[in-house]
Amino acid sequence: MRDATQALTVIAPIDPAKRALLDERLNQISDDIDGNALFRPKDLPHTHFMRFVVIEGAGEIPALLAWESNHDKRRDEYLALVVHGSAIERIFECCTGFPRQLDDQVRWLVEHSHRAAAFYTAYRGVPREQVHNDRTVHDAIREALDTHDGRGAFAGLPPREIQRQLCEHVRVNKPALDITQSDDQELRWLVGKLLAVGAALVLLPFLLVVAPFWYAVLRGKEKTDIPEPTNRPVHDDKHLAELEDRVTQNQLTHIVDIKPGWFRHATLLFVLTAIDLIARVYSVRGDLGGITSIHFARWVILRDRWTKRGAKRHRLLFFSNYDGSWESYLGEFIDRASYGLTGVWSNTVGFPRTQGLLGAGARDEEAFKQWTRNHQIPTQVWWSGVPDSTVQNVLDDLWIRRYLDGGLADDEVSTWVRKL
């Protein structure tokens, strides 16, 4: 469980001589995501979601290929399985310096991986195999309930007896399925929370001393920030909406320059570290600041390694896999997590004017949505391992399977039956 739901981001310069070939191959994969003869994401082992994105170059900065994967296993083990078990080299051989030998390819991918500054998943620690198993368990229960004999057999029975009979039905008719009561990791989250509180108490005196000086500098910079002009209503000049609403979930890839100077960079790192900590030990049950539609999301700081003259151009990458439409997703962000959004992106170029790091900013709905569209980029290949499931579906499946074989109080059993 500890190695499940990991974040991997591999970013590498594209070989200019092979750019046309890369575009052709990505289009071929996207046109037939599961049936193409080139590379099928479904062949990747232990993978929940993945995407390939081309980040266009500018000036000295080359065009980059980003591969984002949400996976199980440790990074190096996962990459070894991917390299030896899929045709991913057909994509990365279009990047500068990609080696021919398989073991060298694993090392190359490791060298080009970037740690997520903040990473969230709605079902942390739940492997892909468990997600699929629990979906199948729930389907088997529905089949039993939906049959004519099933309706008659369960009518009038107390909830605990219904649960017992359904458990027996799955055990007998689907013996390959796992219906054991797995550890829900509550102890792990509790230990994490205690450690987080302890760290906060240790840092608190330092933060109280630094905070007034930091706030004064921040307010001075906020007054000179220049927000991007806003079209009202929101314009989608890149026609990104054409790539959305094809399955139950959607994806978003977003990249924007970080405001220059060490102060903004340090502030951004502090905010992302706090979000990452919250996501790891507190928001572990499908709820990030009240948002319940995100499967996986991460922020990655892409540091400029190419500019040789002048100021470095560091950028902030954001990847999200979420339920519902773009409009409803952004609306949830604004209504329930605007402080967190503003805390992060107020440190990037063109963001709507903010006050004291967390105020205003994303609360200007149309300005925030237009800014988001302006810096959103097309995702050439995107794949979901659970295309028909919302976050709530996954969590319900997990809970139903976990307690199929008992372990609930009488009132909880009634809730269990209603979720069916």
Of the pLDDT bands very low, low, confident and very high (cuts 50, 70, 90), residue 74 is very high
pLDDT value at residue 181: 75
Ordered DSSP codes for 233-250: S---TT-GGGGSSSSSEE
Q: Is the peptide bond before 45 cis (omega within 30 degrees of 0)?
A: no
Let me know: does 33 contact 40? Beta carbons within 8 Å: yes
Looking up tokens 């980003």 gives 66
pTM of the model: 0.93
pLDDT value at residue 185: 66
Q: How many CA atoms lie within 13 A of 353 on its CB side?
A: 9
Of the pLDDT bands very low, low, confident and very high (cuts 50, 70, 90), residue 416 is confident
Q: Please identify, in words, the CATH class of the domain defined by 6-114.
A: alpha beta
- 357's tokens: 């790091």
- 285's tokens: 């049950």
The rounded distance, in Å, linking the Cα atoms of 138 and 114 is 37
The rounded distance, in Å, linking the Cα atoms of 64 and 396 is 39
- Mean pLDDT (the chain, rounded): 90
pLDDT value at residue 412: 79
- Strand order of the β-sheet with 294-302 is 118-121, 294-302, 315-323, 249-257
Of the pLDDT bands very low, low, confident and very high (cuts 50, 70, 90), residue 102 is very high
The rounded distance, in Å, linking the Cα atoms of 265 and 302 is 12
Burial (0-12, 13-18, 19+ Cβ within 10 Å), 153? middle
Alpha helices in 309-349 (DSSP H): 326-345
Let me know: does 251 contact 379? Beta carbons within 8 Å: yes
Of the pLDDT bands very low, low, confident and very high (cuts 50, 70, 90), residue 156 is confident
- Cα separation of the two ends of the chain: 26
Average pLDDT, stretch 179-197? 71
Let me know: does 307 contact 260? Beta carbons within 8 Å: no
The rounded distance, in Å, linking the Cα atoms of 365 and 334 is 7
The rounded distance, in Å, linking the Cα atoms of 116 and 7 is 7
Pick 408 or 217 by higher pLDDT: 217
Please list, in sequence order, all residues whose beta carbon lies within 8 angstroms of the beta carbon of residue 91, skipping any fewer than 6 positions away: 22, 25, 26, 39, 52, 65, 67
Let me know: does 395 contact 123? Beta carbons within 8 Å: yes
Mean pLDDT highest for which of 142-156, 319-333, 400-414? 319-333
pLDDT value at residue 206: 72
Let me know: does 88 contact 36? Beta carbons within 8 Å: no
Of the pLDDT bands very low, low, confident and very high (cuts 50, 70, 90), residue 187 is low
Mean pLDDT is lowest, of 108-117, 211-220, 296-305, for 211-220
Q: Where are the domains of the chain?
A: 6-114, 128-184+390-419, 226-384
Residue 148, pLDDT above cutoff 60: no
pLDDT value at residue 165: 86
Strands 118-121 and 315-323: unpaired
Residue 152, pLDDT above cutoff 70: no
Q: Please name every residue paired with 27 in a beta bridge, in sequence order, or none if there are none.
A: none
Mean pLDDT is lowest, of 110-124, 143-157, 343-357, for 143-157
